[in-house]
Amino acid sequence: MPESPENSTPAAAAGRPVVRLRPKAEARAIRHGYPWVYADELVLDRRSAGLKPGSLAVLEDVERRVLGLVTVNPASKIVARMLDRDPAAEITQAWFATRIARALAMRERLYATPHYRLVHAEADGLPGVVIDRFGDTAVVQPNAAWAEAHIEPLVAALAEVTGVTTVIKNGSGRARGLEGLPEEVVTVLGTTPAEPVPVLMNGATYMADLTHGQKTGLFFDQRENHAFTARLAKGAKVLDVFTHVGGFALAALAGGAQSALAVDASAPALALAAKGAEASGYADRFTTRQGDAFAVLEELGREGAQFDVVICDPPAFAPAKPALEAGLRAYERVARLAAPLVAPGGYLVLCSCSHAADLSSFRNASARGIGRGGRRSQVIYTGFAGSDHPVMPQLAESGYLKALAFRLDG
């Protein structure tokens, strides 16, 4: 009777290099689904350290029992990522198509329009790969070396499964730098969109710049939090800080807000937000203010401005553990400056997309800031990323987004 893959290396995988966990590495976590191996957990001898970034290898534990097929990048802190429990798996167009089809089936069940995050990295079985879909166009972020090396079969499978006619590779961002990958944005299939792409969400039209905007051009992850905040905004004066291309502001207007002021440091982002407001029919209720968010919050405070709903959705202040303390202080400062702008009985929505700041730490920092701003509060809502951003239970980093809605008294 043949041995199981966990106990031996199949003949089909015999030609692949083998990498081995160190004695103190937690092989049990890998067996139970944890997808990463850190540099201090892997034996990096001359042979394994010389593997080309993105190489495929068979991972074994200290007793030489096979754990699966991994991709290796000796230059990265995450030195190995689990690709397949079958060490003989071939990473072909068909392999990619199977995973993309599984991801697509869930999104098509969840959403009536083809605008969503199609692939959410490890949680969808494609480590380090993010794919956002905008109708017939998809934006791929290959944030790991193996995905960069396999971009052609990945794109071919994406077109095969979804029918998209344009694919843009967005090779930018912090994650690629950690993998030693260059930055580039290039259209790898079809024709680059000449204009921003309109995306309908929660009754509003957002304009997504797929080649020059932040990340993939639009943040789908806040969709459900936008919808909740829109319920608070009926008849309200709304302030949306760090709005990007309209974010919470446009959703609030779709929900019946009296007016919305959108604040961002980026003039191009605010221009897209204004186009979205016009396309949605809200131009007469929508205004913008360009500037540093902290400075604008302070200016509004000096002006004695008051809003029924204030939302602050900043970038990641704590993208990694070394930045955690500084990041939490920044979240506290946002809450302290924003709280006085909320009218009595109004609402303050605070968000964090920081991997390193867990929900409890973020909530505590926000509550401290609200208290320092002279206000009392109650939490009425806790939100996370939308369902098109599934969480891998074994990987806390896949559940990065937190949103808190506070009702403020006195």
CA of 391: how far to CAs of 85, 176, 398, 401, in Å? 19, 21, 5, 10
Of 339, 351, 353, 404, catalytic: 353
Quote the tokens at residue 262: 């959108």
Contact 103, 117 (CB under 8 A): no
Contact 180, 75 (CB under 8 A): yes
Strand partners, 137: 134, 166
- Residue carrying structure tokens 């930045």: 323
Output the CA torsion 295→299→301→306 (10° steps): -110
The count of C-alpha atoms lying within 13 angstroms of the C-alpha of 7, restricted to the half-sphere facing its C-beta, is 4
Known active-site residue 351: no
Contact 71, 56 (CB under 8 A): yes
| Helices 93-110, 151-162: crossing angle, 10 deg rounding | 40
275-278: long-range contacts at Cβ-Cβ below 8 A with a sequence spacing of 24 or more?
275/196, 275/207, 276/198, 276/204, 276/205, 276/206, 276/207, 276/245, 276/246, 276/250, 277/246, 277/249, 277/250, 277/253
Q: What are phi and psi of 78, to 5 degrees?
A: -85, 95
297-336 exposure pattern, b = at least 16 Cβ within 10 A, e = fewer: beebbeeebebbbbbbbbebbbbeeebbeebbebbbbbbb
Contacts of 301 (CB under 8 A, 6+ apart): 337, 340, 341
Give catalytic residue positions: 353
